[in-house]
Chains A and B, each alone.
Chain A
């Protein structure tokens, strides 16, 4: 009944209506498909494909779709697409404005490509209109083929500048429409994928996973082409991963997804800064620039939110991505004021970035806090950071310290204890890490870099130096330290005091003095005794000893009077062996009565020593103790009565 001649058939089909198509479907479809598969002319190919999708596709049953249509039609379409693309890239090299013939050919190819894309879009759109959940199995070939097309087209668009070099203007209108068409195809496909239902069949899981991964690849292609598209693509990835969470969670390449997100976050953050820097340099308040800036900041915010969202859901799978996340945080803050490596941007822009983007990034740390691999990364002993990341690392640790008191006890314990067993990944305690990080910020300390201070009692926020900032936050953290973590704290403090960096020792001392005042008097006394004991048992002068001496001197002022009495009983000044200890102490710290008493004792013992020396051989070798007497006498005389 239908003509045997393909050409006649096609011509006849032009007049068919819907009902006829449906009736004739079983016999015409196979013929058309075989015709399609044998066609090698692009125009005919497109024509048949269009007839297939527009006239017959609507009448094919959903369950047969894959079998009778997609599996047969799509591979051929892909082949056509590849041919077109090959043609384009081989012709493009010879393209010049003089060569009109070639130019026409290229334009033709591009037009065909646009038509192909249009047809495919129609195909996808049809399935979207189906108003019923589409099982993935029934359209298996579709997503992967379409994504293949999308990806390659975008790539072509992206490379077009280098590909067509000087002749871009000859075909730019077509490329434009090609891009638009791909855009709408992708949008349509995403709409479709939102609709599909999934079963736990192995096949469909694999399909879905590969879909997501391909979209991820597309993401990296389009990363700097179009903000909205880029954001939507990411939205899609995250939405799909979460929608089929239980099925996909263990199959997705979380690391790739996350590093893609991180990369894009960082990229858009950098472009924000660039824009801000340009605006600052040019000094103009151009609204277009500013709008672009605002959009980019919003994009940053979007990425930050996505990151937070994704991490929240998939945190158990992210153990190998912690390094990336840590780096991301550090890199962002290293480029943001007050880092020394930040570009110069105006205050308003800085605030805007902080308000929109950094606030959104903040919950990231909150989520990662209980996550062991993250803390192992942050507190790692071999964290070999480049100089620009030292200050951000300090900032990160401070942020963590601010948040930690609100975490459950076991999380706090993880952070405050270093690695205790050899099988653990070696890590520092939070305190030691902070002191170490602080020590490394030499440049920021000397400048000094200013950080936002603490808002207090109606005073405006006064910028504080890095030292002040760290000291305040460290002490606030100390104030909330639960008793169970106290031993780690003391050890870290003692280690830092005895460390080789003066400024770190100073920080540790300041914190210790705060601790002494915040804790009980007994605790203060105990610490003083331990320190005094250390000083006493140290065999000779050295730098660390004098630092300890300074600490002892400070702490003695904070001691309760009766503990001071106890101190003089424990370390009686009248015994010569205690003199090295007493030389560090300012008698001003003692109560007047005690002071007088100690002064007398010191004097007496000093005298005895000297007498011994004089009655001995008076050699230089025996001098040091005598010199000590001198100093001790000093102190005594210095003490205001």
Chain B
């Protein structure tokens, strides 16, 4: 019964009109314009309340209004009747804890005029949600909550049999669609992006195997599911109930011809048809555009037949068929016209008059008939004749000026579909933007998204930009494709979420900077990804990771240290360890380099340091990783610039000074290969100083096997051993370089001409010989003298073995 979708729009609008115009019920202009998106029920209720309260309108008008539409009437009745029960289910539970009797007695199910108190409560709740949904000031989160609350209401009303299933279904559909527009949208202002930010924050440290997900549902086995079988049964039941009515075979023509007389058998279809018509044309007046015109022109011959159709009173089905190919013509009306001339002349309104604007002149007479024809049929439903008259008159009164007529349609269109219908200029703008962004994804070059994928996680390296790929790119800057895409974060959320109290004193710009540039959301790193350095790993686990995971145990003396210094020759995995700490402890990771604090904001460096620590404090547990810490915290001396000195001082103070509390779960991890240059005060604060030595043989082996496992190679176990032996003194980076060099061996052995034609399969595997020659070019980057220096420093200050 799809016509229900369109049904409320029409009735809403007409009721509204009628009351607004003929009953002198004054509604605020706001409701006049946006009001048609109000559920009819609340409008009705509003009106009824007014009519009860104000002497100028009669109660009767309210009643007749309500009765005019079964669906909305029972929906509205649901309001009143339900409120008693809902109180119990919802708000009531708490207040009524001690008084179950009162809660259990639901208000009697009656008409619309019952138990003013409970229904008023209910109405206000509904209104509250309604305003949350429509207001401009609410965040998308609040709107989503509002929609959910509405859907809950619908569910409860249905559960209490206060509204029919069909009604519940359609209301659900209506609200769910609007709701999903918010949830699925990645627009920072209007959408929630599927809560991706929250979710990915939670799932940050977990495995991501989404690329390997395989659906087990097939079109055949899905029918084995119990819920699906129920679905099919429900469908079947409907089908048979549909067939049941005796008048299923009544020929429609007669109905139509008789439709002027009230009290006839139900005839839903006609009204729906008219609805459709109205609706279609109304939506058109908004969504019209060059495209439509274009499509129309492609059907020129049909279009030209339109005028003739309007004039002909004897339309054959065949000719109406032509008409159909116009997207919005009054097609449904044409079958009626076959028998009912009056109706035909009214209903074959060329919809194009909205687009073209010159066709507006149809007679008062016809529109009047249209009015009497259409609601008349609806009326046969509810056998309320005066209602139909009033509608007619209202329609008629709106006729003289064509612009009101348009408005009428517009108002009706507004009700059901979020992005269509009449809007204020502002809303129109918004609609346009919506449209634009809805269209965007398909236009954007596919390749810019890394293949055809629109996925979030699967198979993508989650680099700094790859946090979350929305299904549709945002409007700004997406012409150039994905890569520039910033992880959609602080900038947009800042406006919608309250900022932490502690951040108030700090310049928002700096906070944003820290969020964007310094906070790192790299790919998850596991301890297994780091070869060797078992001692350092064990120590870090003990003093860093565990305390972060179980703060309740690690208190007092067991409390974690505030700072760690990782030192050792370059290329041994210090940075990787820093990342791993953040990842495994579930902490927020700030990665800073001296340059990000010094060079950019001369004189503001220390403020930046302070901002950094403050943000970190708000994000506890946090790890601040400073690579090449020696450049930031070198010995303070005489010949030093004032600003760099101030930065150092601020850093030291923040690290462990008067303002820091022992409760803070902030860890500073510094990495350096020049430990001897670090200021002694800083050294003191970096309590644990761990030496990250060159990889041992086993670690080097691990590196080689791991790197080679991704390549096409033919190394035997012994050969690997030889490589490992020969690479003594190599750092991790040197090992990688060695493997790189070796992997180029097969290419070098090709003749230079071949390179253009050869297929990838023909490149020979990497062999031991390649490594052999690679050893000739790759030398260890750390000298034994350097090593000695580290060893000595480790002896003096280190806390390793």
Residues on A close to B: CB < 8 A?
A: 340-341, 355-356, 359-360, 387, 402, 405-406, 442-443, 445-448, 453-460, 462, 465, 467-468, 471-473, 475-477, 479-483, 486-487, 490-491, 494-495, 498-499, 501-503, 506, 509-510, 513-514, 517-521, 523-524, 526-527, 529-530, 533-534, 537-550, 553-554, 557-564, 583, 588-592, 594, 596, 599-600, 603-604, 606-607, 610-611, 614-615, 617-621, 623-624, 626-628, 630-631, 633-634, 636-641
Of the candidates A460, A498, A631, the one whose C-beta lies within 8 Å of that of B227 is A498
6 chain-A/chain-B pairs, Cβ below 8 angstroms: A442-B90, A456-B201, A543-B172, A548-B231, A557-B438, A604-B325
What sequence of 0s and 1s flags, for each residue 493-522 of chain B, a beta carbon within 8 Å of any chain A beta carbon?
A: 110011111010000000100110001000
Of the candidates A406, A446, A460, A624, the one whose C-beta lies within 8 Å of that of B91 is A446
Bound Cα distance from A491 to B206, whole angstroms: 23
List residues of chain B with CB within 8 A of the CB of A460. 497-501, 618
Bound Cα distance from A540 to B2, whole angstroms: 12
Bound Cα distance from A553 to B215, whole angstroms: 20
Q: Are A446 and B149 in contact (CB under 8 A)?
A: yes
List residues of chain B with CB within 8 A of the CB of A592. 439, 442-443
Q: Are B206 and A480 in contact (CB under 8 A)?
A: yes
List residues of chain B with CB within 8 A of the CB of A617. 249, 251
Q: Shortest beta-carbon distance, A398 to chain B, in Å?
A: 11
Q: Are A498 and B198 in contact (CB under 8 A)?
A: no
Bound Cα distance from A445 to B551, whole angstroms: 32
**Do A620 and B249 contact each other (CB < 8 Å), given the known contacts A513-B180, A550-B176, A633-B327?**
yes
B interface residue count range (under 10 / 10 to 19 / 20 to 34 / 35 or more): 35 or more
Q: Are A498 and B231 in contact (CB under 8 A)?
A: yes
Among B239-247, B533-541, B730-738, B789-797, the stretch in contact with A: B239-247
Question: With an 8 A cutoff between CB atoms, is B203 at the interface?
Answer: yes
Q: Shortest beta-carbon distance, B71 to chain A, in Å?
A: 15
What sequence of 0s and 1s flags, for each residue 442-474 of chain B, a beta carbon within 8 Å of any chain A beta carbon?
A: 110010000011111111000000001111100
List residues of chain A with CB within 8 A of the CB of B497. 459-460, 462
Which positions 596-629 of chain B face chain A at CB distance < 8 Å?
615, 618-619
Of the candidates A453, A631, A637, the one whose C-beta lies within 8 Å of that of B283 is A637
Of the candidates B172, B219, B454, the one whose C-beta lies within 8 Å of that of A502 is B172
List residues of chain B with CB within 8 A of the CB of A641. 287, 289-292, 294-295
Among B189-197, B699-707, B718-726, the stretch in contact with A: B189-197
Bound Cα distance from A549 to B89, whole angstroms: 29
Question: With an 8 A cutoff between CB atoms, is B424 at the interface?
Answer: no
Q: Are A560 and B452 in contact (CB under 8 A)?
A: yes
Q: Are B206 and A405 in contact (CB under 8 A)?
A: yes
**Do A557 and B417 contact each other (CB < 8 Å), given the known contacts A454-B198, A621-B243?**
no
**Do A472 and B199 contact each other (CB < 8 Å), given the known contacts A483-B213, A490-B215?**
yes
Given contacts A448-B149, A523-B214, A561-B452, 8 further A-B contacts (CB under 8 A): A442-B152, A481-B213, A482-B207, A482-B209, A495-B226, A502-B172, A503-B152, A509-B176
List residues of chain B with CB within 8 A of the CB of A459. 493-494, 497-500
Q: Are B234 and A543 in contact (CB under 8 A)?
A: yes
Bound Cα distance from A520 to B169, whole angstroms: 31
Question: With an 8 A cutoff between CB atoms, is B559 at the interface?
Answer: no
Bound Cα distance from A288 to B497, whole angstroms: 40
Bound Cα distance from A623 to B273, whole angstroms: 12
Q: How many A-B residue pairs have CB under 8 A?
A: 419
Among B328-336, B342-350, B653-661, the stretch in contact with A: B328-336
Q: Are A445 and B210 in contact (CB under 8 A)?
A: no
Q: Are B320 and A614 in contact (CB under 8 A)?
A: yes
Q: Which B-chain residue is minimally distant from A472 (CB atoms)?
A: B198
Question: With an 8 A cutoff between CB atoms, is B396 at the interface?
Answer: no
Which positions 217-274 of chain B face chain A at CB distance < 8 Å?
217-219, 222-223, 225-228, 230-232, 234-239, 242-243, 245, 247-253, 269, 272-273
List residues of chain B with CB within 8 A of the CB of A560. 446, 452-454
Of the candidates B141, B215, B226, B250, the one whose C-beta lies within 8 Å of that of A527 is B215
Q: Are A619 and B206 in contact (CB under 8 A)?
A: no
**Do A603 and B324 contact each other (CB < 8 Å), given the known contacts A475-B194, A502-B155?**
yes
Q: Shortest beta-carbon distance, A46 to chain B, in Å?
A: 49
Question: With an 8 A cutoff between CB atoms, is B20 at the interface?
Answer: no
Bound Cα distance from A490 to B221, whole angstroms: 13
Bound Cα distance from A475 to B335, whole angstroms: 51
Q: Are A458 and B619 in contact (CB under 8 A)?
A: yes
Q: Shortest beta-carbon distance, B374 to chain A, in Å?
A: 15
Q: Are A518 and B456 in contact (CB under 8 A)?
A: yes
Q: Shortest beta-carbon distance, B176 to chain A, in Å?
A: 5
Bound Cα distance from A564 to B442, whole angstroms: 10
List residues of chain B with CB within 8 A of the CB of A558. 184, 454, 471
Of the candidates B172, B206, B222, B471, the one whose C-beta lies within 8 Å of that of A557 is B471
Residue of A446, A611, A618 most packed against chain B (CB within 10 A)? A446
Of the candidates B149, B173, B287, B327, the one whose C-beta lies within 8 Å of that of A640 is B287
Residue of A360, A475, A540 most packed against chain B (CB within 10 A)? A540
Q: Shortest beta-carbon distance, B327 to chain A, in Å?
A: 5
Q: Which A-chain residue is minimally distant from B176 (CB atoms)?
A: A550
Question: With an 8 A cutoff between CB atoms, is B402 at the interface?
Answer: no
Q: Shortest beta-carbon distance, A542 to chain B, in Å?
A: 4
Bound Cα distance from A490 to B222, whole angstroms: 10
List residues of chain A with CB within 8 A of the CB of B183. 510, 513
Question: With an 8 A cutoff between CB atoms, is B420 at the interface?
Answer: yes
Bound Cα distance from A465 to B129, whole angstroms: 14
Which positions 162-183 of chain B face chain A at CB distance < 8 Å?
165, 168-170, 172-173, 176-177, 179-180, 183
Q: Which A-chain residue is minimally distant from B281 (CB atoms)?
A: A637
Q: Shortest beta-carbon distance, A230 to chain B, in Å?
A: 22
Q: Are B289 and A446 in contact (CB under 8 A)?
A: no
Q: Are B552 and A359 in contact (CB under 8 A)?
A: yes
Bound Cα distance from A593 to B222, whole angstroms: 32
List residues of chain A with CB within 8 A of the CB of B93. 340, 387, 443, 447
Question: With an 8 A cutoff between CB atoms, is B120 at the interface?
Answer: no
Bound Cα distance from A294 to B198, whole angstroms: 34
Q: Are A513 and B194 in contact (CB under 8 A)?
A: yes
List residues of chain B with CB within 8 A of the CB of A547. 172, 176
Q: Which B-chain residue is minimally distant from A359 (CB atoms)?
A: B552
Of the candidates A359, A486, A494, the one whose C-beta lies within 8 Å of that of B214 is A486
Bound Cα distance from A481 to B283, whole angstroms: 44
Q: Are B202 and A473 in contact (CB under 8 A)?
A: yes
Q: Are B232 and A539 in contact (CB under 8 A)?
A: yes
Question: With an 8 A cutoff between CB atoms, is B756 at the interface?
Answer: no
**Do A539 and B239 contact each other (CB < 8 Å), given the known contacts A494-B228, A591-B443, A636-B327?**
yes
Q: Are A603 and B446 in contact (CB under 8 A)?
A: no
Q: Are A340 and B295 in contact (CB under 8 A)?
A: no
List residues of chain A with CB within 8 A of the CB of B148. 445, 465, 467, 503, 506
Of the candidates A513, A633, A640, the one whose C-beta lies within 8 Å of that of B276 is A633
Q: Are B2 and A360 in contact (CB under 8 A)?
A: no
Question: With an 8 A cutoff between CB atoms, is B5 at the interface?
Answer: yes
Of the candidates A521, A596, A621, the one whose C-beta lies within 8 Å of that of B453 is A521
Q: Shortest beta-carbon distance, A530 to chain B, in Å?
A: 5
Q: Shortest beta-carbon distance, B634 to chain A, in Å?
A: 30
Bound Cα distance from A460 to B502, whole angstroms: 10
Question: With an 8 A cutoff between CB atoms, is B483 at the interface?
Answer: no
List residues of chain A with CB within 8 A of the CB of B746. none
Q: Are A455 and B458 in contact (CB under 8 A)?
A: no
Q: Are B86 and A402 in contact (CB under 8 A)?
A: no
Q: Shortest beta-carbon distance, B226 to chain A, in Å?
A: 8
List residues of chain A with CB within 8 A of the CB of B441. 561
Bound Cα distance from A547 to B180, whole angstroms: 12
Bound Cα distance from A519 to B327, whole angstroms: 37
Of the candidates A479, A483, A533, A548, the one whose C-beta lies within 8 Å of that of B212 is A483
Bound Cα distance from A641 to B296, whole angstroms: 12
Of the candidates B2, B170, B214, B248, the one whose C-beta lies within 8 Å of that of A627 is B2
Q: Shortest beta-carbon distance, A474 to chain B, in Å?
A: 9
Q: Are A446 and B206 in contact (CB under 8 A)?
A: no
Of the candidates A457, A559, A603, the one whose C-beta lies within 8 Å of that of B197 is A457
List residues of chain B with CB within 8 A of the CB of A639. 287
**Do A544 and B234 contact each other (CB < 8 Å), given the known contacts A458-B490, A530-B219?**
yes
